[in-house]
Amino acid sequence: MAGNRRRTTGYRAQKVAAIAAFGIVLLSGAGVASLAAWTDTEWVQGGVGTDPGISTSVFRIQQNTTTGSTGWVDEPDSPGGVIAFVDASGLTPGDTAYGFVRLRTVDDSLAGTVTLNESALAGANSLYGALRYGAGIVASTAECSAAQFGAGDDGLVPFDTALSADVAPTFSIAADSSAERIVCFAVTLPAGSPSTLQGLTTTPEWYFEAESS
């Protein structure tokens, strides 16, 4: 009987060990097929509203030195466009010549602020040193004249300012080419200028620095 009990006990121990080992195999997934799983994927992209794409804004100004609806150009480098000063080819002491430039933003551009700067010419002659100027914003090109300019203009640079003066007035400019700004310049050869200025030519330069707002 004792021998039978030992054989029975040993058989039971082997059976328990076999069951335990089989359980480990099941838990590790070895020797059995993996259970199938449902999968899905979702993609998204950046955009605005329902339109895809993230983009940058635009800020750019143009100039026009004519009175026409065409003639808008970009002149980002010196010497740029030419302001057609009236009667500036034969100044005598006391004379003032007037000229304008029109500025606007391009379509779909942001609004911004514009700074008017005068470019000090390298090797400027004595006529450059003698000339005086003023600048302001006028409502129309017709107002850039002796009869209109200075009487109600939005002054940027006071009359009788030296071309080499360190001034940098600013003004606003509208978005999306919706409203142009007309800057009128008045250049004067002061009364009492010396005869040594006769027959000279000089070319003043200005430039506009614009920044979006």
Cα torsion for 199, 163, 67, 154, to the nearest 10°? -140
Q: What is the mean pLDDT of residues 80-107?
A: 95
Residue 50 lies in a domain: no
CATH number assigned to the domain comprising residue 188: 2.60.40
Count of domains forming the chain: 1
206: exposed, middle or buried (Cβ count in 10 Å: 0-12, 13-18, 19+): middle
Cis check: omega of the bond before 52, within 30 degrees of 0 = no
Span 99-149, pLDDT tens digits: 999 999 999 999 999 999 998 776 689 999 999 999 999 999 999 998 888
Residue 173 lies in a domain: yes
pLDDT over 60 (residue 9): no
Q: What is the mean pLDDT of residues 202-207?
A: 93
- Percent of the chain exceeding pLDDT 70 equals 82
Boundaries of domain holding 67: 61-212
- If you count them, how many residues does the chain have? 213
pLDDT of residue 1: 56
CA–CA dist 171, 106 (Å, integer):
17
Higher pLDDT, 18 or 51: 51
Q: C-alpha angle with apex 81: 184 to 177, nearest 5 degrees? A: 70
Distances in Å between the Cα of 16 and the Cα atoms of 6, 20, 64, 172 are 15, 6, 98, 91
Of the candidates 157, 142, 180, 155, the one whose C-alpha atom is nearest the C-alpha of residue 62 is 180
Residue 11 lies in a domain: no
pLDDT over 60 (residue 164): yes
Residue 53 lies in a domain: no
Distances in Å between the Cα of 175 and the Cα atoms of 107, 109, 112 are 8, 5, 7
Q: What is the mean pLDDT of residues 48-62?
A: 95
